[in-house]
């Protein structure tokens, strides 16, 4: 399953941990740092990656909910049928609920903990359930 990981660059450490764990579990996770070369149109390549993806994980933090890029990626996922039931929110840093996009407030999300392996297991489990439900 191709999975798009949406996050603020300030949450890169969490993104790297989650990406690594999910790749080990057999998921294909697009990595803009590795997959977009110098001089390449960042927005175009992000759009292509979203089109290829079958699920999205969005890392929630004060910085990500303020990020226009993350908000655009969430909006894309909400409009795409391939993401129906496959938009998984992970709270990686305390964030006021009223700042989280309203649509994500209405769904259950995963709360990242200091036990990063358990957090990755929860995300992989949610992806597996979403895949099975499709």
Distance, CA of 85 to CA of 81 (rounded, Å): 9
**Alpha-carbon distance 67 to 36, whole Å?**
20
pLDDT of residue 46: 82
Sort 4 into a burial class: Cβ within 10 Å, 0-12 / 13-18 / 19+.
buried
- pLDDT band for position 83 (50/70/90)? confident
Q: What is the pLDDT of residue 21?
A: 95
In this predicted structure, the answer to whether residue 19 has a pLDDT above a threshold of 70 is yes
Q: What's the pLDDT band for 134 if we cut at 50, 70, 90?
A: low
- pTM, to two decimals: 0.91
Lowest mean pLDDT, pick from 9-13, 34-38, 47-51, 123-127: 34-38
CB 28 within 8 A of CB 97: no
Domains parsed from the chain with CATH numbers: 2-133 (3.40.50.10140)
Instruction: Measure the CA–CA gap between 119 and 50, rounded to whole angstroms.
Output: 23
Rounded mean pLDDT of 83-109?
92
Cα separation, 132 vs 118, in Å, equals 21
Give the range among 3-7, 53-57, 76-80, 114-118 with minimum mean pLDDT: 76-80
The DSSP 8-state label assigned to residue 98 in this structure reads: G
> For position 82, what pLDDT does the model report?
84
């Amino acid at each position: 399953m191709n999975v798009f990981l949406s996050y603020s660059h300030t949450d890169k450490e969490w993104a790297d941990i989650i990406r690594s764990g999910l790749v080990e579990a057999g998921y294909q996770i697009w990595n803009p740092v590795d997959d977009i070369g110098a001089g390449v149109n960042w927005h175009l390549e992000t759009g292509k990656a979203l089109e290829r993806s079958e699920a999205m994980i969005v890392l929630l933090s004060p910085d990500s909910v303020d990020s226009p890029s993350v908000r655009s990626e969430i909006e894309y996922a909400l409009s795409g049928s391939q993401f129906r039931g496959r938009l998984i929110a992970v709270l990686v840093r305390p964030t006021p609920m009223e700042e989280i996009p309203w649509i994500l407030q209405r769904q259950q999300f995963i709360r990242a903990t200091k036990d990063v392996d358990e957090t990755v297991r929860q995300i992989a489990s949610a992806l597996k359930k979403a895949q099975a439900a499709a």
